[in-house]
């Protein structure tokens, strides 16, 4: 049986066109189908409400703007976030780190890549002194020739998920899990930390408020998607929430 949403079919051509946008997902095919289903639900709801825009993306944006509202983060919530995460609000902090990159490409079988990366990480947990050796053997980053060493990095210098892990690890710590970024899978170790100076709350209050507002908006969108899924006529696929694998849909990022 084919896949349909409120009587509208999602065919193989639709899936083939969407699939390239999800190559880094754990299950690209499943993620592509879920994305198409969610988009169809949103477009149907926008049409039902009589919204108008020049494009499908514009319709989705107009729908979210009208139906998803969240209050701004108040000062108490911002201060709590600031107090609970002091490591995020320091200037001049540096880490010396190294990594092993298993790069995701269109030609690389994703499961094999992840399995290989996990096997190397497991080997390093037993023999961390082999990091330079295994970086030279496996890393797809030029730093592999230097034992994976990236030198000293300041906050904000790398992609957000890499940055967040670096400044969370203690000196000498090997991350206990693979880190996934748009570049692929990373094994990460922090060699040394140079602590910076605390940034005053007043200097980062607006940044924190924006971050909390974005998080609240994403939660509200996910709840809205759950609502649409629950009342829609969806055939050929089980869709329990905003994203089939529990991750955020690209529609709401």
Confidence at residue 242, expressed as pLDDT on a 0 to 100 scale: 44
Does some domain include residue 15? yes
Nearest Cα residue to 147 out of 164, 124, 163, 170:
124
pLDDT band at 143 (very low <50, low <70, confident <90, very high): very high
Higher pLDDT, 21 or 140: 140
Confidence at residue 1, expressed as pLDDT on a 0 to 100 scale: 47
Confidence at residue 92, expressed as pLDDT on a 0 to 100 scale: 83
Of the chain, the percentage scoring pLDDT greater than 70 comes to 94
Number of continuous H segments (helices) and E segments (strands) in the chain: 8, 9
Calpha distance 167→182 (Å, rounded): 19
pLDDT band at 239 (very low <50, low <70, confident <90, very high): low
pLDDT digits (tens, 9 = 90+) for 32-87: 888 999 999 999 999 999 999 999 999 999 999 999 989 999 999 999 999 998 87
Residues 131 and 156 in one domain: yes
Confidence at residue 172, expressed as pLDDT on a 0 to 100 scale: 94
The answer to whether residue 177 scores a pLDDT higher than 70 is: yes
Confidence at residue 250, expressed as pLDDT on a 0 to 100 scale: 47
Calpha distance 155→163 (Å, rounded): 6
Mean pLDDT of 232-236: 86
Range of the domain at 180: 94-194
Residues 40 and 130 in one domain: no
Tell me the residue length of the chain.
253
Residues 109 and 185 in one domain: yes
Domain total in the chain? 2
For 105-120, letters b (16+ CB in 10 Å) and e give eeebebeebbeebeeb
Lowest mean pLDDT among 4-13, 39-48, 146-155, 185-194: 4-13
Residue found by looking up tokens 């994403």 in the block? 218
Do the Cβ atoms of 13 and 21 come closer than 8 Å? Answer: no
Does some domain include residue 50? yes
Confidence at residue 217, expressed as pLDDT on a 0 to 100 scale: 94
Higher pLDDT, 162 or 248: 162
Long-range contacts of 104-110, Cβ-Cβ distance < 8 Å, separation of 24 or more? 104/23, 104/24, 104/183, 104/184, 104/185, 106/23, 110/23, 110/26, 110/28
Does some domain include residue 112? yes
Residues 104 and 165 in one domain: yes
Mean pLDDT of 4-31: 84
Tell me how many degrees the CA angle 161-167-172 measures, rounded to the nearest 5: 115
pLDDT band at 9 (very low <50, low <70, confident <90, very high): confident
Residues 161 and 231 in one domain: no
Q: Return the CATH number at 187.
A: 3.10.50.40
pLDDT digits (tens, 9 = 90+) for 109-129: 888 899 999 999 999 999 999
Q: Report residue 176 CA to chain centroid gap.
A: 18
Does some domain include residue 245? no
Confidence at residue 252, expressed as pLDDT on a 0 to 100 scale: 45
Task: Give the pair of three-digit tokens for residue 244.
Answer: 């089939």
């Amino acid at each position: 049986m084919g896949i349909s949403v409120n009587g509208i079919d999602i065919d193989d051509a639709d899936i083939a066109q969407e699939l390239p946008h999800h190559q880094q997902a754990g299950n690209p095919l499943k993620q592509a189908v879920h994305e198409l289903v969610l988009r169809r639900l949103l477009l149907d709801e926008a049409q039902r409400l009589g919204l108008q825009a020049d494009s499908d993306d514009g319709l989705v944006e107009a729908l979210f703007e009208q139906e998803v509202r969240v209050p701004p983060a108040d000062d108490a919530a911002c201060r709590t976030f600031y107090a609970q995460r002091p490591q995020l609000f320091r200037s001049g902090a540096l880490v010396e780190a190294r990594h092993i990159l298993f790069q995701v490409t269109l030609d690389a079988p994703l499961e094999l890549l992840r399995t290989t990366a996990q096997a190397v990480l497991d080997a390093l947990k037993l023999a961390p002194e082999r990091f330079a050796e295994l970086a030279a053997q496996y890393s797809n980053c030029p730093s592999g020739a230097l034992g994976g060493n990236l030198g000293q990095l300041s906050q904000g210098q790398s992609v957000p998920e890499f940055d967040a892990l670096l400044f969370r690890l203690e000196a000498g710590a090997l991350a206990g899990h693979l880190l996934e970024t748009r570049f692929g899978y990373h094994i990460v170790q922090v060699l040394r930390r140079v602590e910076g100076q605390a940034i005053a709350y007043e200097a980062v209050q607006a940044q924190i408020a924006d971050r909390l507002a974005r998080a609240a908006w994403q939660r509200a969108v996910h709840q809205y998607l759950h609502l649409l899924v629950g009342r829609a006529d969806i055939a050929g696929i089980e869709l329990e929430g905003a994203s089939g694998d529990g991750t955020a849909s690209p529609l709401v990022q």
